[in-house]
Structure 1
Amino acid sequence: MSKKNRSGIVYSTNPEFEFSDNEDDIQTLPPTQQDLRIWLERKGGGKVTTAVKGFTGTLADLETLGKLLKNLCGSGGTVKDQEVQIQGDHRDKVIAWLLSKGYKAKKAGG
């Protein structure tokens, strides 16, 4: 079963109701208009991850960005909840790479 959020719609009594998924309407902004924040998040067991938040665009483009960042850092990670998570503290490397590609990026949180 799909775990997609259906915007709280569970049931409709309208027989002509059709759910429209707004994910198709989202277009990826160019790098100069992206405003990314780079966070350092502490996980259980003393592990840390670098999180890139604030990306506006399609999931496919976010996954592509995530793959490029993981290759850059030589580390594992994931893309979920509209953010890229990279294992380890790679904030400086990620920010330098994003700025070189034209993104607006800066450190956030503590």
Structure 2
Amino acid sequence: MDLKDQLKNLFPDHKETEIKQEQKTDIWLQDAPILCKYEKRKGKPITILDGYTGATQDFKKLAKEIKTKLSVGGSFKDDKIIIQGDYRDKIMQLLKDKGFNVKRVGG
């Protein structure tokens, strides 16, 4: 007897409803691609995302989401997202899943 059967025994009048979760993008999507660059600063690799033309707050939300999903450090400066480490492939896939056009620059 699994959990659903036990719940049906406890609540026989209850009707199951399907819960549909739609992915809401509260971030403005643009036509021009976001540039994903790789650089080394002071001998350490970084990934830079540049070219977003939407609101600054949306880009900050995107930066926080990327840093959280990849569990890495980074910052938002001068309308650029700077991520510590070389995560171009993972970041590009994440952005493509969200609906952005991404262009790889350098290397």
Q: Is TM (by shorter chain) over 0.5?
A: yes
**Match 1:35 to one of 33, 44, 54:** 33
Question: Which ranges of structure 1 fall in alignment gaps of 5 or more residues?
Answer: 1-28
Q: Deviations over 1:30-71 (max 9, x none)?
A: 325241010011101x20111001011221111101001111
Question: Whose radius of gyration is greater, 1 or 2?
Answer: 2
Change in Cα spacing, 1:34 to 1:72, as seen in structure 2 (3 Å) is farther
The ranges of structure 1 where at least 4 consecutive aligned residues each deviate by more than 3 angstroms after the TM superposition are none
CA RMSD of aligned residues (A): 1.5
Residue number in structure 2 paired with 1:14: none
Change in Cα spacing, 1:84 to 1:106, as seen in structure 2 (3 Å) is same
Residue number in structure 2 paired with 1:48: 45
Mapped partners of 1:57, 1:101: distance in 2 = 15
Q: Deviations over 1:51-105 (max 9, x none)?
A: 0010112211111010011112110000011110000000000000100110000
**Match 2:78 to one of 59, 78, 81:** 81
**Match 2:105 to one of 94, 97, 108:** 108
Percentage of matched positions with identical amino acids: 35
TM-score, normalization by structure 2 = 0.70
Mapped partners of 2:74, 2:66: distance in 1 = 9
